[in-house]
Structure 1
Amino acid sequence: MANGGPAPGGPAIAVLGSANMDLVAYVPVAPRRGETMTGRDFRTVPGGKGTNQAIAAALAGGRVTMIGAVGDDAFGPRLRDALAGCSVDTAGLRTVPGPSGTAHIVVDDEGGNSIVVVPGANATVTALTPGDERRIAAAGALLLQLELPMAGVLAGAEAAGAHGVPTLLTPAPAVPLPDGLLARTDVLLPNEHEAAALTGHRDPHRAGRALLDAVPEVVITLGAAGSLYFARGAEPVTVPAAPVRAVDTTAAGDTFAGALAVARGEGRPMAAALAWATAAAALSVQHTGATSSMPARAEIDTAARRPGPTPSR
């Protein structure tokens, strides 16, 4: 995909999250337990949900700063360079002794994936430094995920709340969320499986309504079916996605989150922001890899202008 730096004057976004090197094997069909099979390709791609969202937001036009940690191994400089190469500020990315985080990913010919994450350096991010808090306070939004220790995520959310910075939380991997974190979350961004795990409701409409008891806004992503938006005191909004052939869905949700943060930061109405983020995610699944699949702003704008479904109630 084409790379592009942030647009001058774009919205300021801080990302507190993981940095992993993705070790990606491509296979016709995912192996069953105990089965060995021959893959058709293997790649190492900078990733981690924090890195993914930071790069997605930067390519979509945001001025992005990344807060997290990498190891002092060979992967650390590659992860840092990948972020810097997309104009992400890496001053908040610590280097700590030991290995960087890794994600071991199997992608099948239908574009589906299974992932094993080994945290590595990410496990050391249990608190903020004074510099981290300043970076969050200077942002217009904070993107959070759950590949860091919960103590670190909660510290970031508390700092954002103290400085009036809106938080967008992707609850992945899905784990029970502390009340203190939910109380400091402005927009919750689960996929349909995460929403079901959090609420016990497989119906995304029921799950979304249930989640509104804890947070003011919820966006449930539905893969090829688009997304659902819920806000207190309003009717749900369905945002369909254009039909595309998925090659690799690894970073679709992170692409969506990064683009949505930019669109909201630019003051777009929520339905329009969701449609734009959905166009970005649809572009990402048509290419392999995580950060390597993410579209630049001009590509998103072009895709979003194509005739097709529009947001509807």
Structure 2
Amino acid sequence: MTGPSRVVVVGDLITDVVAMLAGPLAPGSDTPATIRVSGGGQAANTAAWLAAQDVPVTLVGAVGDDGAGRDRVAELERAGVDCAVEVHGDAASGTVIVLATGAERTMVTERGANLRLTAAHVERAVAAAPDAAHLHLSAYPLLDAASRPAGLRGLAVARERGLTTSVDAASAAPLRRIGAAAFLSWVRDVDLLLVNADEAAVLAGGLDPAAQARALSASARRVVVKRGEAGAVWVDRSATVGVAPARRVAVVDVTGAGDAFAAGLLSAWLGGADPRAALARAGDLGALAVSTVGARPAA
């Protein structure tokens, strides 16, 4: 009996500075908070959650030649992630400041060395993983012109090698800046597109979630709309529709919940699960993620 096939995850590796605010932010003054520094980045988080499910996984990304970058790679390797990370001496590793208040979080981002991720490095990393069956792209590389060639090359080389592909749309604000038409042209015919409610509104307009997913399935073969407390919807081009309610848990920190959801979805779907079972597994990991502080599985 063979185990799960390798997943190559392409995208950002970040240091998260998470501030759990004790109350509303007091502009121009002090707001008490619990502050934690940990590994983050949508792609790195998804890779860590995949590794926690015993899925062989390679993260392809970039860091600076600094202590933060070395720490981020080391902690992923301890978690079981194979790291194909290029080091850039002329840029600092990326950092995100996360202001979290229960079910809401606001991110202040410096992508740093993640902007230096190169198409050549992505191509070499995929070639160095001959056991890979799937490539998952966090869309952050696509959303900046500097790193866009790397993201596009990742999808292209995956298709050339016969890998299935998925894309997480990443973030509503940069999607809005670049426009739906451009983004959907870049991800055309990916096997799976993941969007949250805000991203779905940017890309498909103010429709109901099932209608948004159906509209987006003109670009991607399968679409999952993540709706937080309202659950998730799956639509594919064969008109299959799956709906899953959210798990009812006490929310501590939503940072990384979507990344955990993506990992659960991918591990189940790539293992042959049907849409409802894949959504259920995704919901389980998302619920686990919001129950703790930080974006990664517990050590």
Q: TM-score, normalised to structure 1's length? A: 0.86
**Which segments of 5 or more consecutive residues in structure 2 lack a partner in the other structure?**
142-146
How far apart are the structure 2 equivalents of 1:30 and 1:236?
39
Secondary structure of 2:92's counterpart equals coil
Q: Which amino acid aligns with 1:125?
A: L
How far apart are the structure 1 equivalents of 2:22 and 2:79?
32
Percent of aligned pairs with the same amino acid: 32
**Counterpart selection for 1:279 from 279, 284, 291:** 284
Farther-moved stretch of structure 1 (221-230 vs 34-43):
34-43
| Residue of structure 2 equivalent to 1:305 | none
Q: CA deviation at 1:135?
A: 4.0
| Residue of structure 1 equivalent to 2:144 | none
Structure 2 counterparts to residues 124-203 of structure 1, below 5 A: 124-129=116-121, 130-135=123-128, 138-148=131-141, 149-174=147-172, 175=175, 176=179, 177-203=182-208
Structure 2 counterparts to residues 1-313 of structure 1, below 5 A: 9-31=3-25, 34-90=27-83, 92-97=84-89, 98-108=91-101, 110-129=102-121, 130-135=123-128, 138-148=131-141, 149-174=147-172, 175=175, 176=179, 177-291=182-296, 294=297
Secondary structure of 2:18's counterpart equals strand
Decide whether aligned partners of structure 1 residues 56 and 81 sit closer, same or farther in structure 2, where only a CA change above 3 A counts. same
How far apart are the structure 1 equivalents of 2:117 and 2:139?
11
How far apart are the structure 2 equivalents of 1:147 and 1:85?
25
Equivalent pair of 2:46/2:260 in contact (CA under 8 Å):
yes
Equivalent pair of 1:136/1:165 in contact (CA under 8 Å):
no
**Which segments of 5 or more consecutive residues in structure 1 lack a partner in the other structure?**
1-7, 297-313
How far apart are the structure 1 equivalents of 2:254 and 2:229?
10
How far apart are the structure 2 equivalents of 1:118 and 1:30?
24
Q: CA deviation at 1:147?
A: 2.1
After superposition, the CA RMSD in angstroms is 1.8
Relative to total residues, which structure has the larger strand share, 1 or 2?
2
Decide whether aligned partners of structure 1 residues 225 and 140 sit closer, same or farther in structure 2, where only a CA change above 3 A counts. same
How far apart are the structure 2 equivalents of 1:238 and 1:268?
14
Equivalent pair of 1:137/1:159 in contact (CA under 8 Å):
no
Secondary structure of 2:250's counterpart equals coil
Equivalent pair of 1:158/1:184 in contact (CA under 8 Å):
no
Equivalent pair of 1:26/1:106 in contact (CA under 8 Å):
yes
Equivalent pair of 1:284/1:295 in contact (CA under 8 Å):
no
Secondary structure of 2:136's counterpart equals strand
Decide whether aligned partners of structure 1 residues 219 and 150 sit closer, same or farther in structure 2, where only a CA change above 3 A counts. same
Deviation string, structure 1 residues 158-180 (Cα, Å, up to 9, x no partner): 11111111111101123134454
Deviation string, structure 1 residues 166-203 (Cα, Å, up to 9, x no partner): 11110112313445422241100001111001112242
Decide whether aligned partners of structure 1 residues 267 and 235 sit closer, same or farther in structure 2, where only a CA change above 3 A counts. closer
Secondary structure of 1:54's counterpart equals helix
Q: Which amino acid aligns with 1:127?
A: A
Equivalent pair of 1:65/1:135 in contact (CA under 8 Å):
no
